[in-house]
Amino acid sequence: MKKRLLVLGIGNPGREDDGLGYEFVLSAQRTPCETVEFHHAYQLNIEDAERIQAYENVLIVDAARGLQSPYELSPIAPKESGSFTTHSLSMPNVVAIAEELYSSTPACKLLAIRGQSFEMRNGLSAAGTEALQAALHFFWSPTQSNWLPGC
């Protein structure tokens, strides 16, 4: 039986707001919830297809530039891309690989959090911290309770 929800934070906490996905996971997993599992990675890899195929729902959390609001939620549809390097594997690509290899297509969404500064320093910018708090508030809000049964 598949597990309910995986929250997968993406990013490098050594590059300021690039670590928003990591910080999101760190903060969110402080609230115990049996039906949600958390994981963090610097970047997506092919092995993540194996990871996500075991879940009904997957929320990928990543920093983004240029958002109009502090965070944005959008669905991720499987889409193959011919190009591959270990430096860049897109979210739709990972979902497509899960579908191809494991005949599994979890419902995937991207929670993009607005970042402002991506220099080589630990810690979030003030604007990044503010956006993170807004995204966490949204994540735990009752309107999202269909993701978080029993929490």
Partner 1 sequence: MTRKIVIEPVTRVEGHGKVTLHLGATNKVEEARLHIVEFRGFEKFIQGRPYWEAPVLVQRLCGICPVSHHLAAAKAIDRIVGVGPGEITAVAEKMRRLMHYGQIFQSHALHFFYLAAPDLLFGLDADPLKRNVLGVIREHKELALKGIKLRKFGQEIIKATAGKKIHGISAVPGGIHKNLSKKEIRYFTNGKEVPSVSSCIEWMEEILDFMRDYHAKNREWVDGFCHFPSNHMSLVGADGEMDLYHGKLRAIDSRGTTILNDVDYEDYIDHLGESVKEWTYLKFPYLKNIGPAEGWNRVGPLSRLNVCEGIPTPRAQKRLEEYRSFAGERVVNRSLYYHWARLVEMLHCAEYMHQLLNDDDLQGETLVVKGNRRREGIGVIEAPRGTLLHHYGVSEKDEIIRCNLIVSTTHNNEAMNRSVRIVADKAISGQPEITEPMLNEIETAIRAYDPCLSCATHAVGEMPLKVELFNNDGKLLQERLR
Q: Which positions from 29 through 48 interact with partner 1, judged by CB under 8 A?
A: 42-43, 46-47
Q: Is there binding between residue 14 and partner 1 (CB under 8 A)?
A: yes
Nearer to partner 1, 57 or 93 (CB): 93
Give me the least distance between CB of 107 and partner 1, in Å please.
21
The one-character DSSP state at 26 is H
- Dihedrals phi, psi of 64, to nearest 5 degrees: -145, 150
How far apart CA 77 and CA 92 sit, in angstroms, is: 6
- 114 vs 97: CA distance, rounded Å: 27
| Residue 50 buriedness (CB in 10 A; 0-12 / 13-18 / 19+) | middle
DSSP 62-82: EEESS-SSSEEEEE------S
Q: How far is the CB of 147 from partner 1 (least distance, A)?
A: 25
| Residue span binding partner 1 (CB under 8 A) among the ranges 27-35, 68-76, 91-99, 143-151 | 91-99
Binding partner 1 (rule: CB under 8 A), the pick from 68, 86, 122, 143 is 86
* Residue ranges that bind partner 1, judged by CB under 8 A: 12, 14-15, 42-43, 46-47, 49-50, 80-88, 93, 96-97, 100-101, 118
